[in-house]
Amino acid sequence: MKYGFLRVAAVAPGVNVADCRANAESIIECITGLDLQGVDLAVFPELSVTAYTCGDLFMSSRLLRSALDALTDIANATSGLHITAVVGVPVEFENAVYNCAAVVHDGAVRGLVPKTYLPNYGEFYEKRWFRSGAEVSEMIEMGDFGAVPLSTRLLFGVGEGTVGIEICEDLWTPVPPSSRLALAGADVIVNLSASDDVIGKYSYLRSLITQQSARCMAAYVYAAAGFGESSTDLVFDGKAVIAENGTILAESARWSSGPKIEIADIDLEALGYDRRHSSSWGDCRVAEANGEYHFVSVSSSDPDGAFNGGLLRRVNPRPFVPSTDADISERCEEIISLQVAGFARRLDFTRCKSVTIGISGGLDSTLALMVAARTFDRLGLPRTGIIGVTMPGFGTTGRTHRNAVDLMEALGVTIREVSIAPAVRQHFADIGHDPEVHDVTYENSQARERTQILMDIANATGGMVVGTGDMSELALGWATYNGDHMSMYGVNVGVPKTLVVYLVRWLASVAPSEKERHALLDIADTPISPELLPATADGDIAQRTEDLVGPYELHDFFLYYTLRYGFTPAKIFELARQAFNGSYDDVTIKKWLRTFVRRFFSQQFKRSCLPDGPKVGSVCLSPRGDWRMPSDASSASWLADLD
């Protein structure tokens, strides 16, 4: 697929114990259907050709011969298809039987990977039938397929991905084979399993899959035995799970009798970025080097399969915002706590007992004020030490001014009001600017006057100015240089605009008074504006930020994938098309993505001298931390990619 995606499927078909022909027919039917859906790699359960619960029949030459005949049929059925399949089959070699994963593609068996760790406890006695493949590394003859490698040290090139294989119990060991397979280059790990079900086991298994995919910075495709396995002593529910770097992308419903099939598109480019970005990953790869691995090139990528029927993974349109209601309270409390912790340390170090914040009745200053109030509470300082300053200007509306005052009154902070109009008019006269010309000078003069007032009040009270600007504004450069761009500590620098809105609404839900709750909710519903241009005739906000620079939900989406994974504009555009399908058309997305790219590059100089402030999420724009970029870098190549 294009843009570094690999389409994978985890399949748990029904089986008939020891009926290899019937099992092969079921597997072939699944493979054929998955190929039509553009699947690059399909993974079937452990011993799916025979069923896992054959017991001592694994010693039967009849079963072993039938299994190889069935594997031949499966391999032949893939002739002319794009898909690569991995199926479980017992293989006899030199009077030993190995529990193997067979990789088949385009009419051939491309490799056999034996199970390394065989359980021999409780109801599992695999050592009774199978030999560990830990030491075997041979080329074995398989009839029409010729010599086929049999080894645990195989990597398979499927599309743009490198696939490593482990089997069931291998995952449960202290050092799973997948750890070293990943260090050897595998970015997709597949696990053919026959894990039975007992109380609580699935939850633990799910956490194993999630954690191993994160630890390996890899995709993990897990398929386990299901309906049809013998229930003499055990029960198998059939599991199909696909994870990527710590996140479950898809998982099947349990306890149904039909085949379980889960399909997802793995983002190999994102995995590669994280591995490049993690110096410890490279160091571990060197430290844990464990001999040679043999690479088997199986299939090339299918350019026609790109986004076949739409990308088969959910693309969150608001990647900075908690995705489920269950996460809301815990996540919001954690974010606020991070901001409070950073600010509390700065106040403690400077011995400041007073802070000054410009309160506009907008989202950012509201969040900064709420953080300041919690910080003062944590330090045992009276909230009267928080000086909230409203500074009405030419664009201030009654709604924002009322909300600012109401919120400050509800919080019990010190309120000051200083109109900037007289000073700015004098400034216009001093520099010879016509106040009827509403250009950048008209706007920035107001922003810088407000900053001067805040700084001077802070000096007079022995305090510091708290910055209110958020990460989205920093990305776009939507701040007046040496105006609202400056402060002694910026509590919101790690919080993007979509998350600011979310936090303010959450703060309203836990507000102790109706007055505070009402003010917070109305602030969240107020159009975003710097209020630097005169209001409309009926007193409404005339200058709406999102009309000028674009919707913040789009810009935050662009920002996340630019910073978190370093994706190209073309790939971000495709992801945005899926995430915002039905909300924005292609022309609109491309227009604002172009704006984002252009402004992101041209406004780096403002970020190069950014005040201190806490990082709260996976990305930030601090020039001392996550983002170090020259101020004169060209955006030409990125804009060309978008075109």
* Residues that are catalytic: 46, 115, 168
Q: Which H/E stretch holds residue 98?
A: strand 96-105
The count of residues in the chain is 643
Residue 545 near residue 432, CB atoms below 8 Å: no
Residue 607 near residue 621, CB atoms below 8 Å: yes
Which string of b and e fits 59-76 if b means at least 16 CB within 10 Å? Answer: eeeebbebbbebbbbbbe
Provide long-range contacts, Cβ within 8 A and 24+ apart, for 634-643: 634/601, 635/597, 635/598, 635/600, 635/601, 635/602, 638/568, 638/569, 638/597, 638/601, 639/569, 639/594, 639/597, 639/598, 641/568, 641/569, 641/570, 642/569, 642/570, 642/573, 642/590, 642/593, 642/594, 642/597
Question: Which residues have a Cβ under 8 Å from the Cβ of 246 and sit 6 or more positions away?
Answer: 210, 211, 213, 214
Amino acid identity of residue 506, one-letter, is: W
Cα dihedral 604→621→267→311 (10° resolution): -70
Order of strands, edge to edge, in the sheet holding 260-267? 137-141, 147-151, 108-114, 96-105, 84-93, 41-43, 5-12, 260-267
- DSSP states along 521-554: HHHHHSPP----SPPPTTS-----HHHHH--HHH
Amino acid identity of residue 167, one-letter, is: I
Residue 113 near residue 133, CB atoms below 8 Å: yes
Give the DSSP letter of residue 533: S
Residue 484 near residue 304, CB atoms below 8 Å: no
**What are the distances in angstroms from CA 502 to CA 329, 525, 580?**
11, 11, 19
Question: Which residues have a Cβ under 8 Å from the Cβ of 359 and sit 6 or more positions away?
Answer: 365, 366, 369, 388, 389, 390, 404, 407, 408
Tokens of 596: 């984002």
Q: Considering only CA atoms, give the Rg of the chain.
A: 30
Amino acid identity of residue 410, one-letter, is: A
Residue 580 near residue 317, CB atoms below 8 Å: yes
Q: Tokens 């939507």: give the residue.
A: 478
Tokens of 518: 């009402």
